[in-house]
Amino acid sequence: MADMLMLLVGEAMAPLLTRLYYNSGGNSLWMVTLAQSAGAPLLVIPFLLTPRAAAAAAAVGEPRPAPAASKMVAICVALGLVVGCDNLMYFYAMLYLPRFTPLVVNSVVVLTFSAALLGVDDPSSSDGGGAGGNAVRRGKHAVGVVLTLSASAVYALILSLFEATFDKVIGAATPQWVLKMQISTNAVAAAVSAAALFASGEWRAIRGEMAAFKDGKAAYAATVVGVAMGWQAAALGAVRLIARVSSLFANVTGTLALPMVPVLAVALFGDKMTGTKVVAMLMAVWGFLSYVYQHYLDGRRAAAREGRVHAAAGCVICTDQMTYSSMFGGAFSNCSFS
C-alpha cells in the first residue's frame, strides 16, 4: 500500500508542479528534464540504511552470486539513457499540450482508447486566434499527442526492462537492489540532462528565469525541488511494485493518478473539464478496476490450487500411514489430515 501511495502521490504532484513552473514564467526545457532525475541523491540515505542484499538473501535461505559489475554498469547506463530520452519526450509533450489531459495512461488497452479520445479533442481552446494560429496550434497539438504516446510507451518499456533485470540478471528484487537500480539509472539520466543543459546554453538563462519567476526565487527553487521529489517518489514506488508484483501491476496502478491530475488542475489552474476528458478518465478507472479484479481472481485460484495440492499430499501421507499400520499391527492407526 505504501508503494502504491508513493506512486500515486508522485504522479499527481510532479505534473501539477511542472505546470506551475511553466505557468509562472519558467521556460527551460532541460531544467525540468534534469529535475525529473536529479532527485536520485535523496535515495542515498534509505539505501545506506537498508540491509545488504547478500544478507537479505541469506536470511531467506536463497543466497545468489552477485551479477558481474560490468554487466550491471552497462544495464544501468543503457536504462539511464532511455529514462533521459523518456523525460525529454514527456516535457516536450507538456509544452505542446498546455492543458492537463488524460493521455498519460500506461495500461494496456486503456492507453490506446483514451489517447485516441484526446487525439480527436478540439485544441482550439488555447489562447490566440486566426486560421494561421489555429494551424500552428493544431500542428503542435498533434506533436504533443505523438510525444505523449511515445513517452508512455517508453515508460512501459522501462518498467518491463526493470522487471527483466531483477528476474534474469540480479535474480532477486531485494530492497537494496531496488534502490541501487533507481539511483544508478537516474544518475545517468540526470548526467545526460545536465550535459544537455550546458551544451544548449540554457544554463545562462536560469538566473534571469529565477528573477522573473512569478512568485520569486524561493518559489522557483521550491517548485523545481518539488518536481524532483515528486518524480522520484513516483519512480521509486513503481520500481518497488515491480519488485513485489510485476511491471504490469505498476503500470496499471499508475492509471489511478489519471483522474486526480485533471481534477486538481481544474481547481488550481482553472482548466475546463471537457466531456472527452471525463470519458477518458472513466475508461482509465474502468481499466484499473478490471485489472485489480482479475488479479484478485487469479489470487483466489492460486490459493485454491495450493489447497488442493496440500490436501492431495495429506491423502498420500495418510495412505502410507495406513499401509504401515496394517503391516506393523496398527502402530500408525491414528491417521489425521491435520
Q: What gap in Å lies between CA 96 and CA 154, rounded to an integer? A: 19
Kindly state the cell numbers that stand for 175: 530492497
User: Is residue 43 in some structural domain?
Assistant: yes
Instruction: List, in sequence order, every beta strand (DSSP E) within the chain.
Output: none
Kindly state the cell numbers that stand for 331: 502402530
Q: Taking Cα atoms as reference points, which of 101, 155, 108 lies closest to residue 290? A: 108
pLDDT of residue 188: 93
pLDDT of residue 131: 47
User: Is residue 207 in some structural domain?
Assistant: yes
User: Is residue 315 in some structural domain?
Assistant: no
pLDDT of residue 171: 82
pLDDT of residue 322: 54
User: Is residue 317 in some structural domain?
Assistant: no
User: Is residue 119 in some structural domain?
Assistant: yes
pLDDT of residue 81: 92
pLDDT of residue 190: 92
User: Is residue 83 in some structural domain?
Assistant: yes
pLDDT of residue 187: 92
Asked if residues 285 and 331 have their Cβ atoms less than 8 Å apart, the reply is no
In total, the chain counts a number of residues equal to: 338
Contacts of 56 (CB under 8 A, 6+ apart): 174, 175, 176
pLDDT of residue 54: 46
Contacts of 44 (CB under 8 A, 6+ apart): 183
User: Is residue 294 in some structural domain?
Assistant: no
pLDDT of residue 280: 66
Domain count, the chain: 1
Indicate the residue type of 227: V
Residue 122: helix, strand or coil by DSSP? coil
Kindly state the cell numbers that stand for 42: 535523496
Q: Which domain holds residue 208?
A: 2-280
User: Is residue 335 in some structural domain?
Assistant: no
Tens of pLDDT along the chain (338 residues) come to 788 888 888 888 888 888 888 888 888 888 888 988 888 888 888 888 876 644 444 444 455 677 888 888 999 999 999 988 888 887 777 666 545 444 333 444 454 455 445 444 544 444 444 444 455 456 666 676 677 677 777 877 888 888 888 888 888 778 888 888 889 999 999 999 999 999 988 889 898 989 889 888 999 999 999 999 998 888 888 888 888 887 777 877 776 776 677 777 777 777 776 666 677 677 767 767 776 777 677 778 888 887 776 666 665 555 555 555 555 555 444 444 44
